[in-house]
Amino acid sequence: KQEVTQIPAALSVPEGENLVLNCSFTDSAIYNLQWFRQDPGKGLTSLLLIQSSQREQTSGRLNASLDKSSGRSTLYIAASQPGDSATYLCAPRGSGGGADGLTFGKGTHLIIQP
C-alpha cells in the first residue's frame, strides 16, 4: 500500500524567501503526482500535475520535480508571498489495481510572514 510522507509538517518563513517542500512515497509505480493547495476550511485546489515520464513541471512561481525511481517529489516556491500561506498536499496516483484514487500526504502547513 502506498504511503506518502511530507516534510516538514509545518514551516514559517518571512516573505520573499524561496522554499522547498518535500514529498516521499513508498511505491514508485505511479502514473503521475499531483500537488494541491488547501486554504483553511476549504476544498483542495490543484496546483500542478506531473506525469511519471516528466522530471519537472512549472506554473508561475511554482516548480514541481519528480524522481520516480527514488520515490521523491519537491515543490519549489519562488519569492514567497503572504498569499501563499496554506497547507500543501502531494498525492501520487498509483498504476496498480484498486481504488485508482490518489494517496495523500498529510501536508505541509506553510505560513509566510509579511
Residues that bind another protein (CB under 8 A): 31-32, 34, 36, 41-46, 49, 51, 89, 91, 99-102, 104-107
Q: How far is the CB of 114 from another protein (least distance, A)?
A: 26
Task: Tell me whether residue 102 or residue 112 sits nearer to another protein (CB atom).
Answer: 102
| Inter-residue contact 108 to 21 (CB < 8 Å) | yes
Report the C-alpha gap between 44 and 46 in whole angstroms.
6
Nearest one of 9, 38, 44, 28 to 93, comparing CA atoms? 28
Task: Tell me whether residue 80 or residue 103 sits nearer to another protein (CB atom).
Answer: 103
Q: Phi first, then psi: what are they for 83, rounded to 5°?
A: -65, -10
Q: How far is the CB of 9 from another protein (least distance, A)?
A: 10
